[in-house]
Amino acid sequence: MRHRSGALLRKTAVIILWLLVWQLLSFLIGSELLLPSPWAVVQSFCRLAQTTEFYRSILHTLLRVAAGFAAGMSAGALAGALTAFSGAADVLLTPIKNIIKATPVTSFIVLILLYLSSDVAPSAVAFLAVLPICWSNVCEGLRQTDKKMTELAHVYAFGRKKTIREIYFPTVRPYLSAAATTGLGFAWKSCVAAEVIALSKNSVGRALYESKLYLETAELFAWTASVVLISVLFEKILVHKLLKNKNTEGAAELQYKFDAYDEHGRDEE
């Protein structure tokens, strides 16, 4: 409890420090148009929170991000498994992953808008942003799985489903969690960027563009703050709760057998 309280106090102190720096810079610049004060942003945020447009835009952007993120994680996990277990798939598919990683998000946005509507394009861009991250992490996690554990699982007739659930998944889970944490941030940023360029209806990206267009700087900061807050909230709920590491009974059982088997081998030596 003391450790948690101390960590919370340090985080609070850091936040207050940077808010004071922000306030000082705003005061020195002396123009709300260039850099609004924290209080001005809070007031603007409160005004936005009283409108239905704010919640409608947040909801539509959230759905686009969720669709792209879920599709990217699913396809990335599948591609990662294929390239981890198949040399032919690795040779054939890895160049596609490298091309996706190297292509700027803006290029994807412009290209996708040639084929998809402005409402669908942001989800597709989020999908492409998440895909290579999950792909690389899952592939690496599967390759790091202890071969002796999989061999022993075969000896004890775990079966394919149980081996995947009790051996591969616990090993891949930290890599998957890292991919989800990183990918969620990229999904938000790429999706909102696509909405800005595509001017998607009922979207945070369109609201950001219009705030900039009409020189509503405090509102621009307020919309940006809302995106950051929602992204952090989703990271805490979706990633850390659903993908939290837990030891499974099967894994513990097999680890015990593996230790006994390994000890027996050393005794024979």
Question: pLDDT tens digit string along 239-267?
Answer: 566 555 444 444 444 444 444 444 444 44
Instruction: Report pLDDT for 109.
Output: 92
Q: Rounded distance, CA 131 to CA 147, Å?
A: 27
Closest by CA position to 128, among listed 180, 62, 198, 69 = 69
Q: Are 87 and 115 in contact (CB under 8 A)?
A: no
Give whole-number Cα distances, 246 to 86, 174, 243, 251, 252, in Å. 29, 10, 9, 10, 11
Decide if pLDDT at 172 tops 50. Answer: yes
- Of the chain, the percentage scoring pLDDT greater than 70 comes to 78
If one counts every other C-beta atom within 10 angstroms of the C-beta of residue 156, the result is 15
> Contact 257/148 with Cβ under 8 angstroms?
no
pLDDT of residue 193: 93
Which of the pair, 234 or 145, is modelled with greater confidence? 234
Average pLDDT, the chain: 82
Q: Is pLDDT of 17 > 60?
A: yes
DSSP characters over 95-143: HHHHHHHHS-HHHHHHHHTTTS-TTTHHHHHHHHHHHHHHHHHHHHHHH
Radius of gyration of the chain, Cα coordinates, nearest whole angstrom? 24
pLDDT at 234: 79
